[in-house]
Every structure is written in C-alpha cells, then in structure tokens.
Amino acid sequence: MISAGQLHWNATRLIASASRDALGMRTDSWTNGITFPVSMRQVTAAETQYADGVAVRRNCEVRARWPALVAAGVTEVDRLLVDGRTLRITSIIDLDEAHRVGVIQCEQVS
C-alpha cells in the first residue's frame, strides 16, 4: 500500500508521438497527458560520457497507485514530467503483483 501522505508530487505523462520520419524512426515530440500524484526518490547519480561530452545521469524511483497508472496509460515508451524534471521510463513494475503500487524506474540525463 502507498500512503497518501507520501505522494508529494504530481507527475504528468508525456505521450510519445506515433508519427514516423523518413527512416521509420519515431519523431521526437511529446504531448501532455494525464497528471497523477506520485512519490519520487533519487536512487543514484553519476557523471558519465554521454554523446559528445560529459553528463550527469540520475536514476529515480517513482511510486504511484497502480489504478492511477492504468488510468493514465503510462508505458515504457512515454516520459514523465515530475517537479520540473523530464524522466525517461526504463521499467514499470506492479509491486508484489497486487495491483496497488506501481514502481516506475526512471533516468534523467542532464
């Protein structure tokens, strides 16, 4: 179970575009979706080589009520906007498969 007192932030689902470019790749545009209450904690942070320079990669764990995740339609293709951070979803887990708490593993690159 997740206590309502722990749900300090609101997360907005950023829906991935369904359109494709000339190479068949998904276009990099996002549409705001449903907002739902979440708790978030940073798990790790590390400085790593990224693209043509150095970036900080932060891994976060976002928890929400499972019915809210289902209602929002959140998938691993989407992004989450929490507290001004855009997070890439790496996995979504139904904790204990009890359909009560959803744990979303996310990554922020800045």
Please give the model's pTM, rounded to 2 decimal places: 0.84
- pLDDT value at 17 more than 90: no
Residue 58's DSSP bridge partners are: 45, 108
9: three-class secondary structure by DSSP: strand
Q: Tell me, what CATH number does 90's domain have?
A: 2.40.10.270
Do the Cβ atoms of 41 and 60 come closer than 8 Å? yes
Main-chain phi, psi angles of 60, to 5 degrees: -125, 155
Would you report the helix, strand and coil content of the chain in percent, each value rounded to 5? Answer: 10, 60, 25
Range(s) of the domain holding residue 64: 4-109
pLDDT tens string 19-59: 777 777 777 788 999 999 999 999 998 888 877 888 889 99
Question: Per residue in 43-52, pLDDT tens?
Answer: 998 888 877 8
What Rg value do the Cα atoms of the chain yield, rounded?
A: 15
Tell me what the mean pLDDT of segment 66-77 comes to. Answer: 94
Q: How many domains does the chain have?
A: 1
Q: For residue 46, list its beta bridge partners.
A: 57
